[in-house]
């Protein structure tokens, strides 16, 4: 199922992967993952990893601001980037013939980024606007941010990658430069060249552009471990919203834990499709909610398994939360039917296959596991899905869907009881 790959590591520590696929398509995905995300920030300087993602498309010693995007667009490519809790990802999808241009662009921003204050200040305003429309003015975004504030006390998952507004307003260009110098180094990066290109051509080109890039310093690593949660948390927050929204989150182990497949199975059993437990009972039968979604936020460290639910008019968040928790308790004790188990395994298998059906998806999947330090966890996942049984799913629900490790937030208008 998994495309084969070859790997080399340059003397400067840069890991380079060649993943051949879609022969004859003439298309490749060129991806760079940096082992840095909001997890690597400190309180008072939150959001810097995301800010730096924006600034990587500004000027370098060799190119003007915007030239990166213009060059990619000029040869018909598509590029973008994203910042998460654990890593930052840049990609270019293009014709195989443009590989060297892509590598030249990536090597340039790794070692020659200008980071000028006159480019930083306007981009700070862009990020503040992004925070405004995605978090502050969006009930779901605001609830998501506040959920992490409540669930994590000590670990940097206490904030999401956008960061706190006051931190965004108070960064200095010095802060940005220091963060770039620490984390944007070849020893902290992974380059993937995926698609219709030969191994020799891929590795030769990568060496040409990256072998001479120097490291600047040791990479600082996180020492914060979240204290064990010692009781359920429940908060009510007030925000202008047409309906009350409920979030119930439970702590789950890192992405490469042996229970990873069982945790994904919990998601499908509880909310995967019309026949799933929460959807069937809360939306269709009792009509308490009009929307139920679950997010498995598995990450490098302990993270969250989140149930989001939107109340129907006249239904209180407290009532819906109580029903969600009651159904979860019921699910822990009830038998899982053969049909449900078959659906779970088929869905997990098809989702995995779908995530590997193009060069860009393969690069995203492989890169996300490699940069977090465990590609084998991806290969184990296929085996774990095949061997998954009812007892493993039941055990996971009993282990992780514990009220003691839960954090719940109800969002509603003030005075909307």
Return the active site residues.
53
Among 30, 28, 106, which residue's Cα sits nearest to residue 367? 30
Chain centroid to Cα 164, Å, comes to 18
Give the chain's length. 417
C-alpha 251/C-alpha 404 separation (Å) is 10
Q: What is the CA radius of gyration of the chain?
A: 23
Rounded to the nearest 10 degrees, the angle between the axes of helix 99-112 and helix 67-74 is: 170
Chain centroid to Cα 403, Å, comes to 25
With tokens 């990893």, the residue in question is 49
Q: Two tokens at 163?
A: 């960061």
C-alpha 112/C-alpha 69 separation (Å) is 16
Q: Two tokens at 84?
A: 């998460």
Q: Two tokens at 318?
A: 């407290």
C-alpha 239/C-alpha 399 separation (Å) is 33
H helical segments located in 5-116: 48-55, 67-74, 99-112
Among 10, 8, 7, which residue's Cα sits nearest to residue 212? 10
CB contact at 8 A, 306 and 249 = yes
H helical segments located in 195-276: 199-210, 260-271
Beta carbons within 10 angstroms of residue 219's beta carbon: 15
Query: Helix (H, G, I), strand (E, B), or coil: what is residue 287?
Result: coil
Angle of CA points 366, 178, 58, to nearest 5°: 70
DSSP, res 133: I
C-alpha 18/C-alpha 6 separation (Å) is 5
User: What phi-psi label fits residue 6: left (phi over 0), alpha (psi between -120 and 50 degrees) or beta?
Assistant: beta
Residue 297: HSE in the Cβ half-sphere, 13 Å Cα cutoff: 23
């Amino acid at each position: 199922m998994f495309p084969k790959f070859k790997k080399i590591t340059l003397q400067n520590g840069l890991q380079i992967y060649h993943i051949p696929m879609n022969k004859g398509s003439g298309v490749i995905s060129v991806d760079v993952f940096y082992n840095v995300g909001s997890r690597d920030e400190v309180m008072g300087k939150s959001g810097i990893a995301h800010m730096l993602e924006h600034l990587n498309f500004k000027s370098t010693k060799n190119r003007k601001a915007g030239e990166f995007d213009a060059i990619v667009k000029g040869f018909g490519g598509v590029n973008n980037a994203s910042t998460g809790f654990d890593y930052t990802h840049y990609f270019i999808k293009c014709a195989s013939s443009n590989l060297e241009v892509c590598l030249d662009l990536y090597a340039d921003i790794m070692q020659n980024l200008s980071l000028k204050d006159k480019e930083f200040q306007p981009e700070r305003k862009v990020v503040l606007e992004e925070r405004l429309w995605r978090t502050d003015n969006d009930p779901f975004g605001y609830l998501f941010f506040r959920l992490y504030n409540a669930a994590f006390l000590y670990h940097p998952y206490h904030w999401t990658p956008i960061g706190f507004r006051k931190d965004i307003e108070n960064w200095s260009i010095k802060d940005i430069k220091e963060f770039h110098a620490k984390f944007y180094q070849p020893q902290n990066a992974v380059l993937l060249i995926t698609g219709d290109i030969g191994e020799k051509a891929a590795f030769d080109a990568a060496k040409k552009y990256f072998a001479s890039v120097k490291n600047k310093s040791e990479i600082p690593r996180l020492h914060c471990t979240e204290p064990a949660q010692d009781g359920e948390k429940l908060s009510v927050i007030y925000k202008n919203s047409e309906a009350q929204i409920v979030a119930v989150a439970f702590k789950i182990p890192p992405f490469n834990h042996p229970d990873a497949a069982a945790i994904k199975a919990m998601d499908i059993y509880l909310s995967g499709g019309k026949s799933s437990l929460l959807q069937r009972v809360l939306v269709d039968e009792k009509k308490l909610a009009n929307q139920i979604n679950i997010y498995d936020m598995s990450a490098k460290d302990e993270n969250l398994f989140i149930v989001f639910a939107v109340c129907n008019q006249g239904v209180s968040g407290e009532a819906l939360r109580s029903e969600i928790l009651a159904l979860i308790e019921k699910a822990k004790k009830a038998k899982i039917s053969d049909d449900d188990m078959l659906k779970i395994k088929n869905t997990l298998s098809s989702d995995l296959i779908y995530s590997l059906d193009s060069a860009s998806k393969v690069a995203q999947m492989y890169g996300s596991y490699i940069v977090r330090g465990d590609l084998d966890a991806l290969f184990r996942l296929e085996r774990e899905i095949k061997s998954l049984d009812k007892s493993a799913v039941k055990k996971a629900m009993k282990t992780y869907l514990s009220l003691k490790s839960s954090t719940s937030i109800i969002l509603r208008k003030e005075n909307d009881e």
